[in-house]
Amino acid sequence: MSIAIDPRVAAFIDSQHGLLIDGRSQPALSGAQMPVFNPATGEELTRVAAGADADIDLAVAAARRAFEGPWAAQRPADRERLLLKLADLLEAHGEELAQLETLNNGQSIHLARALEVGAAAEFTRYMAGWATKIEGKSLDLSIAAVPGARYRAYTVPEPVGVVGAIVPWNFPLLMAIWKIVPALACGCTVVLKPADETPLTALRLGQLCLDAGIAPGVVNVVTGSGAQAGAALAAHKGIDKLAFTGSTQIGKVIGHAAVDNMTRFSLELGGKSPVIVLDDCDPQAAAAGAAGAIFFNQGQVCTAGSRLYIQRAIFDQVLERLSAIAGSLSIGPGLDEQAQVNPLISAKQQKRVLDMIGQGVADGARVLCGGVAYGEQGFYVRPTVLADVHAGMQVVREEIFGPVVVATPFDDIDEVVALANDNQYGLGASIWSNDLAKVMDLIPRIKAGTVWVNTHNMLDPSMPFGGYKQSGIGREMGHAAIEAYTENKSVCIAF
């Protein structure tokens, strides 16, 4: 049974969805619109403005004026207060935002409440605190060029400027906040391009920023396709920094565009994160952990634990239990509070996931559970466990971004280190064991931006987050976020 839709959500969906530029909602200059779908039914939910080059020009100009005008005049304490107010508004509108996200993205309402709203509000408060704690260094110099002269130097972190943020559809509101809030804490202004599929909470967020008292033009939201609005933003000469989360393929396109203009950039990209289970684990508990690592948000998570390596003595037991869990999860719309598995984002993503499973089977993988679509309508894929895989298969090498895990046995630590690192990606990894010596041996040998022990997918605003290898460049969260949105100016004084 789905929960009743909040009337404010229904009213918002039925309203006109313009681009948010300089504090005003306006249609795309071309008049173009694009449809937004409900992944649980496949039906059109509403339409939004489809922005392109000329709209991006307007948004970047508005962000530039705000950066040099009202926003530059705000004291750090003012920025902190405004961001704290935004966090309060996120919570005050929490149920509305969560329902909107679930309708547009398909994810569980529990997840939308806890992460898209709850974790987003906590992240916002954490980053608000940084606004008043951005510090440079005082440096003692040894320059000997002019006898008798003395020098003193210090560094000043300055806001990098106008930020272009391009975010994906898997956690639309949270990803937008991960970019906008640290940028604002540092004194930057933003043009946000939400994913084609999930523009709605981004538009609500833009309005809530205004309601919080953040000046018009500080946060602009241009909805539209990646190929048009996204590409125009990435190539724009008026942008000082690009912050992107999405596929490695598009991340490279963004990086090339950025380098052409010498725009600063950070990329949070794909993953194929290993889950390593040592044989001292209780097989039941390990299976539950592995299930959570992959099936959370239907595997549409950049750090999804999609490669499972289990030490041979407990391989069969863990897999049997994992398959039983996967087969027992109830499938349904995100608005059904009982449903444990929800639709994927789109028909395109559903097809991509099913095609990759099909390729895996053609390559010799054995389906222990799932492997097929579910239901008459909506973009569901049953939780899937694949065995008899080997390191050369596409299902083992490439990001699937769906509820699909591939399982491989291993005998010793050296073998699992080699298997875990034999991938282009290096975003996350988890190690499951209480054998401290083995865990401490493994941690430094795993090439990943985050290594979890006896947990997976746990993120915190204080923990730098980002990838090794093809998983990206740069770090978000923690103090790293401040470095990502500031330039470091050195000042050298002779006296």
List 18, 270, 289, 449, residue binding ligand NAI (CB under 6 A):
270
List 48, 50, 163, 231, residue binding ligand NAI (CB under 6 A):
231
Task: Please say which residue, 168 or 283, places its beta carbon nearer to ligand NAI.
Answer: 168
Residue 302 interacts with ligand NAI (CB under 6 A)? yes
Residue 336 interacts with ligand NAI (CB under 6 A)? no
For the question of residue 399 being annotated catalytic, the response is no
List 23, 168, 289, 305, residue binding ligand NAI (CB under 6 A):
168
Closest to 20 (Cα-Cα) out of 219, 224, 221: 221
Least distance between ligand NAI and beta carbon 243 (Å) = 12
Nearest residue to the partner ligand NAI, using Cβ: 226
Q: CA of 219: how far to CAs of 57, 231, 419, in Å?
A: 14, 19, 44
**Quick one: tokens of 197?**
């599929």
Least distance between ligand NAI and beta carbon 332 (Å) = 23
List 23, 159, 161, 230, residue binding ligand NAI (CB under 6 A):
230
List 18, 246, 305, 383, residue binding ligand NAI (CB under 6 A):
246
Closest to 157 (Cα-Cα) out of 495, 482, 494, 493: 482
Q: Which residues of 203-219 are buried (b: 16+ CB within 10 A; e: fewer)?
A: bbbbbbbeebebbbbbb
Q: List the interface residues with ligand NAI, window 147-166 (CB under 6 A).
A: 166
Task: Please say which residue, 99 or 349, places its beta carbon nearer to ligand NAI.
Answer: 349
Least distance between ligand NAI and beta carbon 397 (Å) = 12
Residue 399 interacts with ligand NAI (CB under 6 A)? yes
**Stretch in the footprint of ligand NAI (CB under 6 A) among 242-250, 376-384, 409-417, 437-445:** 242-250
Q: Which residues of 169-188 are buried (b: 16+ CB within 10 A; e: fewer)?
A: bbbbbbbbbbbbbbbbbbbb
C-alpha angle with apex 67: 64 to 68, nearest 5 degrees? 90
Least distance between ligand NAI and beta carbon 247 (Å) = 3
Sheet order of strands, 366-369 included: 366-369, 384-387, 404-410, 305-311, 273-277, 428-432, 450-453
Least distance between ligand NAI and beta carbon 120 (Å) = 16
Residue 115 interacts with ligand NAI (CB under 6 A)? no
Residue 250 interacts with ligand NAI (CB under 6 A)? yes
Q: How many residues bind ligand NAI (CB under 6 A)?
A: 26
Neighbours of 313 (CB within 10 A): 13
Least distance between ligand NAI and beta carbon 251 (Å) = 7
**Stretch in the footprint of ligand NAI (CB under 6 A) among 20-28, 39-47, 102-110, 250-258:** 250-258
Q: List the interface residues with ligand NAI, window 414-433 (CB under 6 A).
A: none
Instruction: State the binding string over 5-44 for ligand NAI (x if CB under 6 A, else -).
Output: ----------------------------------------
Task: Please say which residue, 106 or 270, places its beta carbon nearer to ligand NAI.
Answer: 270
Least distance between ligand NAI and beta carbon 225 (Å) = 6
Least distance between ligand NAI and beta carbon 63 (Å) = 17
Residue 195 interacts with ligand NAI (CB under 6 A)? yes
Residue 370 interacts with ligand NAI (CB under 6 A)? no
Q: How far apart are CA 483 and CA 158, in angstroms?
A: 10
Closest to 117 (Cα-Cα) out of 133, 94, 135, 140: 94
Q: How far apart are CA 407 and CA 399, in angstroms?
A: 15
Q: Residues 80, 268, 476, 483: which is the catalytic one?
A: 268
Q: List the interface residues with ligand NAI, window 340-359 (CB under 6 A).
A: 349, 352
List 11, 72, 141, 227, residue binding ligand NAI (CB under 6 A):
227
Least distance between ligand NAI and beta carbon 246 (Å) = 3
Q: How far apart are CA 40 and CA 112, in angstroms?
A: 15
Residue 247 interacts with ligand NAI (CB under 6 A)? yes
Least distance between ligand NAI and beta carbon 97 (Å) = 19
**Stretch in the footprint of ligand NAI (CB under 6 A) among 230-238, 309-317, 365-373, 387-395:** 230-238
**Residue 15, phi then psi, degrees to nearest 5:** -80, 175
Q: List the interface residues with ligand NAI, window 175-194 (CB under 6 A).
A: 193
Q: How far apart are CA 153 and CA 163, in angstroms?
A: 28
> Who's near 252: CB < 8 A, 6+ residues apart?
none
Residue 267 interacts with ligand NAI (CB under 6 A)? no
Residues that bind ligand NAI (CB under 6 A): 166-168, 170, 193, 195-196, 226-227, 230-231, 234, 245-247, 250, 253-254, 269-271, 302, 349, 352, 399, 401
Active site residues: 268
